[in-house]
Amino acid sequence: MNEQEKAPAPQDQEMWRPRSAIETGALGRCPRCGTGHIFHGFLTVRDRCEVCGLDYSFADPADGPAVFVQLFACVPGVIFIVMLEILARPGLWVHIAVGIPVLILTTVLPLRPIKGWLIAAQYVNKAQEAGTAQLWAKLHGDAAERNSNR
């Protein structure tokens, strides 16, 4: 074998470079390749990446996205609505016209980026539940083998 056959292609090195969870997850991109998608639909996690084939069976953000939305997005929205009532005492129609869109925007829109971030963080940090070491070895075995051959 000559030197060109042993060295990985520059495209392969770029494709598998370590990526941050924020860089990929918040945009809904695959944490391994950065090109494929995590989601199929709004919040449904795909079975695997359509580009690199990463199996997303490790992904279990559970209630994490909802907790983050409640703590950091919902509270300011509710405070805004309460302050609107205290300071302006508008009619019920104003609360319906303003309050419902504010609550929808502060609860629904952040769910996807936060869920993507948590899934990507699980991959990047190799987070796992007790007893799932074999699954992680299977998921990361191919990548570790490729990296050791470089």
pLDDT digits (tens, 9 = 90+) for 76-112: 888 999 999 999 999 999 999 999 999 888 889 999 9
- Residue 90: count of CB within 10 angstroms of its CB: 13
> Which residue bears the tokens 């580009």?
51
Q: Tell me: the pLDDT tens digits for 73-86?
A: 888 888 999 999 99
The residue to which tokens 């609860």 are assigned = 107
- Is there a contact between 65 and 120 (Cβ–Cβ < 8 Å)? no
Contact at 8 Å (CB) between 49 and 56? yes
The encoded tokens of residue 2 equal 């000559």
What pTM, to 2 d.p., does this model score? 0.72
CA dist 17 and 12 (Å) reads: 9
Q: What sign for the dihedral angle of Cα 138, 142, 144, 149?
A: positive
